[in-house]
Amino acid sequence: MTIRKPVIAGNWKMNKGPVAAHAFCARFAAAHAPREDRSILLFPPAISFSTVREALSGRTDLGLGVQDLHWEPDGAFTGELSAAMAREAGARYALCGHSERRHIFGESDQAVGRKAAAALAAGIVPIVCVGELLEERRAGRVADVILRQLDAALDAIPAGAESVILAYEPVWAIGTGVVATPQDASEAHAVLRARVGERLGEAVAAGMPILYGGSVKPDNAAALLAADDVDGLLVGGASLDPSGFAAIAAA
C-alpha cells in the first residue's frame, strides 16, 4: 500500500488583511511545531500573501499558495494574477476551481483545467477542486459530476498530472456546518482515484493526494483523516483561528 503524506491546507478566502494575517502567523507558529510527517499549507488572500511569506520566512515546513490565478502569462486582465507572478512572489501551490470560483464566479470546467495547466507550467502544484451540489447528490449524480470536473482538468494537463493534488469538496457541506461523513468522503475519493488510475496509470493514482473539504473542524478532522482514501483536508472557516487550525494540523 502506498503511504501518502497528509496535506492540511487552510484557505482563508476573503479574510485577513495584512495586519490580521501577521497576527495569525505569530500565533500559529507558536502553536504548531514543525513536523515532517505532513504538509501544512496556507492560502491567504493575495493582498496578504507577502506579509504571510515574510512572517513565516523561518518556517520552511509551511507551504504557501494562492487562492486563484489566471491561465494567461500576462496581459490586460485587470485584477488577475498569473502563475508566473505567483511563483515569483513565493507561491508553490494554487487552488484551481474552488466551488466558490465555480458557482459564484461562473468558472467552467475547462477554465479550471487551463488554470491547472498554467500552474504546472510555472512550477506550481495545482490543487484541483471538485464537488457536487446538494440537488446533484440527491439525484444520485455525485460520480457523474465529480468525474466530469476531473476529466476536464486531466484533459488540459496530460503531462505533469502526477504533480496534481485533488480536493473533493461537496458544495452542500461548505460553510454550512453540515459535513460529509467519513464514508461519504471515502466513496467520492475512491471514484476519483479510480478515474486517475484509468487515465494515468495506477502508479500515478496511488501517489496522488486527495483532500476532503467542507465544514472541517478540530472535532471531526481526525475521523476524516482516518477514512480510507482521505489524504488530507482543505479547511475553510476553521483555518482562520490559529489555535483551531493548529489542532487540525495535528489531528
pLDDT value, residue 139 = 95
Residue 48 in domain: yes
Residue 186 in domain: yes
pLDDT value, residue 35 = 94
Kindly report the CATH number assigned to the domain that includes residue 118: 3.20.20.70
Residue 32 in domain: yes
List, as one string, the DSSP characters of 83-108. Answer: HHHHHHHT--EEEES-HHHHHTS---
Residue range 83-110, pLDDT digits in tens: 999 999 999 999 999 999 999 999 999 9
Q: CA-based Rg of the chain, rounded to a whole angstrom?
A: 17
From the candidates 100, 107, 132, 169, give the one annotated as an active-site residue.
169
Residue 214 in domain: yes
Residue 62 in domain: yes
C-alpha cell at 79: 485584477
Please give the model's pTM, rounded to 2 decimal places.
0.96
Residue 2 in domain: no
Residue 236 and residue 174 in contact, taking contact as beta carbons nearer than 8 Å: yes
Q: Counting Cβ atoms within 10 Å, is residue 196 exposed (0-12), middle (13-18) or buried (19+)? A: buried
Query: 188: number of CA atoms within 13 Å, CB side?
Result: 30
Residue 18 and residue 25 in contact, taking contact as beta carbons nearer than 8 Å: no
pLDDT value, residue 184 = 94
The dihedral sign for the CA sequence 40, 105, 20, 18:
positive
C-alpha cell at 96: 484551481
pLDDT value, residue 246 = 98
Residue 72 in domain: yes
From the candidates 32, 70, 98, 189, give the one annotated as an active-site residue.
98
Number of domains in the chain: 1
pLDDT value, residue 2 = 61
Assess whether 100 carries a catalytic annotation: no
**What one-character DSSP code corresponds to residue 70?**
B
- Cα torsion 33, 65, 195, 131 to 10°: value is 100
Mean pLDDT, 10 residues at a time, the chain of 251 residues: 86 98 98 96 98 97 98 97 98 97 96 98 97 93 97 91 94 81 95 97 95 95 96 97 98 95
240: CB partners within 8 A, 6+ apart: 10, 12, 15, 16, 24
- Alpha helices per DSSP H over the chain: 18-31, 49-55, 83-89, 99-103, 109-121, 134-138, 142-156, 182-200, 202-207, 221-225, 242-249
Assess whether 187 carries a catalytic annotation: no
Phi, psi at residue 167, to the nearest 5°? -135, 120
Range of the domain at 193: 7-249
Residue range 57-88, pLDDT digits in tens: 999 999 999 999 999 999 999 999 999 999 99
Neighbours of 73 (CB within 10 A): 12
Residue 164 in domain: yes
